[in-house]
Amino acid sequence: MVKICCIGAGYVGGPTMAMIALKCPDIQVVVVDISKPRIAAWNSADLPIYEPGLDEVVKACRDKNLFFSTDVEKHVAEADIVFVSVNTPTKTRGLGAGKAADLTYWESAARMIADVSKSDKIVVEKSTVPVKTAEAIEKILTHNNDKGINFQILSNPEFLAEGTAIEDLAKPDRVLIGGRETPGGRKAVEALKAVYAHWVPEDRILTTNLWSAELSKLAANAFLAQRISSINAMSALCESTGANVSEVAYAVGKDSRIGPKFLNASVGFGGSCFQKDILNLVYICECNGLPEVAHYWKQVVQINDYQKTRFVKRVVSSMFNTVSGKKIAILGFAFKKDTGDTRETPAIDVCHGLLGDKALLSIYDPQVTEDQMKRDLAMNKFDWDHPQHLQPQSPTAFKQVSVVWDAYEATKDAHAVCIITEWDEFKKLDYQRIYDNMQKPAFIFDGRNVLGVEALRKIGFVVYSIGKPLDPWVKDLQVSI
Ligand code: NAD
Ligand code: UDX
């Protein structure tokens, strides 16, 4: 029986390995992590991440051919294929801080693999890493290798999106495997291909050289984020001209060369990947003497920051240029619907902006806990994936924040409602009831374009929806944005 071990039981390691176990009953899969609470949660009824369909997959194979353990060294030593799916956050200190990927976790995993291995291994980069990381990993694995072990490194980046991870894993657009162009490298690629071939059609399994696979992951995320920044840039122009961004996106996306996906204007993209990976790409370009290319990609992140700031300015300027002491309901805190993940969520920047103007926030999200929200609001930029850097919570800011478990409670007596995550339940709320219980004038700022603007205006709300023709009220009070 082939034995797989995956280091890192996070958003990628957990679901990816659960899918492999489900589709390959002849393979034993062990997911290991240094975090005891995370592994305990994977072994419990309450999994550590919320992802539609994940519970069923895990329940179908846990303790049969899928195991979760903190005994990292034992399972790595026993495995034929070791996936490394640890976090690769943005560096917060030292050379490349604020841009480069922090490979501390990756390097320590690689050193451990080298130390405990007693048999040949295929080591698979599952984490998103800078191009050429495999070369460094090879050096770490083969350095001090007096046991004659054959290590083959493969790059097999993951393309799943949160909220649809199970669907994405079950029917991937493609699986990408990069390896060395040597007999040993080709054999390793074939071995990993055989795992995916259990359920992925062969024409969807792409094989390339190592560097193409590593770079394709960064490129794919940069292209996706670029589409969002492009439509968000258009949304600002729509507001100034009276065009409607949804109509523009529809018309543009009808061109089959462009396509309709990923053209939803929003308060900004979030998530643990887009910003981190683009900044990493920018850093790599700079290091390779390509400042113009670096500058080009940097703009994607800058437009995203602009979009979040622009949203806050709209809120404050529409409400007579001050939100001091005003209750504002924040509906949604996760970075997108159908996940409890808050990493780099635009909600953090919007809340910071409003708290800076002394607003009183009442936040509701169906999947994010109060503890998580308060941790996020207390953290410095980029610190979320570096637990050792967490700052003490700021009691002043927290006096301005309350977290509630119902959208009606959040909006009661509020001056304004901000929709930050596109949860389906926000489309079905009784907005007449919400309006009746709010201060007047009652404002709605829809950062996801999920609500019907005309129906809300009929109820009496002053409405701002990203990239839609402005309410005369908002237009009259607009400052330069
Ligand atoms: P995560 O933070 O959820 O999980 C990483 C896990 O690795 C953590 O549980 C951590 O405790 C563990 N870990 C760190 N060092 C370890 C070590 N030395 N030994 C054992 N365990 C260790 O991260 P994630 O979201 O799963 O992302 C992992 C990688 O996959 C990143 O490189 C990310 O860019 C990439 N990626 C993420 C997504 C996504 O949607 N989250 C999608 C594609 C790719
Ligand atoms: C992304 C990539 O899609 C995935 O392939 C990669 O493996 C990891 O990074 P993820 O971050 O989980 O996945 O979610 P995604 O659906 O890409 O959304 C990212 C952010 O962009 C979210 O905040 C989302 O709300 C926002 N978004 C997405 C928009 O604002 N508009 C869109 O049209 C699409």
Q: In whole angstroms, give the CA distance from residue 405 to residue 160.
A: 29
Decide if 208 is inside a domain.
no
DSSP string, 368-397: --HHHHHHHHHSPTTGGG-GGGPPPP-HHH
Catalytic residues: 273
Pocket of ligand 1 (CB under 6 A): 7-13, 32-35, 38, 72, 85-88, 105, 108-109, 127-128, 158, 160, 162, 272-273
Q: Which atom of ligand 2 is nearest to the CA of 159?
A: 7
The answer on 173 and 259 residing in a single domain is no
Do residues 172 and 29 both lie within one domain? yes
C-alpha 166 to ligand 2 mean position (Å): 15
Report how far ligand 1's centroid is from the alpha carbon of 11 (Å): 7
| 249 and 155 within one domain | no
The domain of 382 spans: 243-476
Q: Are residues 153 and 302 in the same domain?
A: no
Tell me how many domains the chain contains.
Answer: 2
- Which residue puts its alpha carbon closest to atom 20 of ligand 2? 269
**Structural domain contains residue 171:** yes
Pocket test for ligand 2, best of 12, 273, 303 (most atoms within 8 A of CB): 273
DSSP readout, 240-279?
HHT--HHHHHHHHHTSTTT-STT----S---SSSHHHHHH
**Domain final position from 133, 168, 200:** 200
Pair 248, 365 in one domain: yes
End residue of a domain, out of 139, 171, 200: 200
What 8-state DSSP symbol labels residue 96? Answer: T
Q: Are residues 143 and 275 in the same domain?
A: no
Could you tell me if 16 and 99 lie in one domain?
A: yes
Same domain, 294 and 421: yes
Q: Give domain status of residue 206, yes or no.
A: no
Q: Which atom of ligand 2 is nearest to the CA of 337?
A: 25
CA distance 350 to 330: 9
Residue with the nearest Cα to atom 3 of ligand 2? 161
Atom of ligand 2 nearest to the CA of 263: 33
**38 and 178 inside one domain:** yes
The answer to whether the pTM exceeds 0.90 is: yes
Q: Considering only CA atoms, which residue is closest to atom 28 of ligand 1?
A: 87
Let me know if residue 167 belongs to a domain.
Answer: yes
> Do residue 53 and residue 179 come from a single domain?
yes
Q: Is residue 284 part of a domain?
A: yes
Residues 122 and 187 in one domain: yes
Tell which atom from ligand 2 comes closest to the C-alpha of 273: 9
Output the residue whose Cα is nearest ligand 1's atom 12. 8
Nearest CA to ligand 2 atom 6: 159
Instruction: Answer yes or no: is 222 within a domain.
Output: no
CATH of the domain at 445: 3.40.50.720
Of the residues 143, 167, 200, which one is the last residue of a structural domain? 200
Per-residue pLDDT of the chain (481 residues; tens, 9 = 90+): 899 999 999 999 999 999 999 999 999 999 999 999 999 999 999 999 999 999 999 999 999 999 999 999 999 999 999 999 999 999 999 999 999 999 999 999 999 999 999 999 999 999 999 999 999 999 999 887 778 899 999 999 999 999 999 999 999 999 999 999 999 999 999 999 999 999 999 999 999 999 999 999 999 999 999 999 999 999 999 999 999 999 999 999 999 999 999 999 999 999 999 999 999 999 999 999 999 999 999 999 999 999 999 999 999 999 999 999 999 999 999 999 999 999 999 999 999 999 999 999 999 999 999 999 999 998 866 665 655 554 544 555 678 999 999 999 999 999 999 999 999 999 999 999 999 999 999 999 999 999 999 999 999 999 999 999 988 877 776 655 5
Confirm whether the ipTM is greater than 0.85. yes
Q: Is residue 224 part of a domain?
A: no
* Residues 267 and 407 both lie in one domain: yes
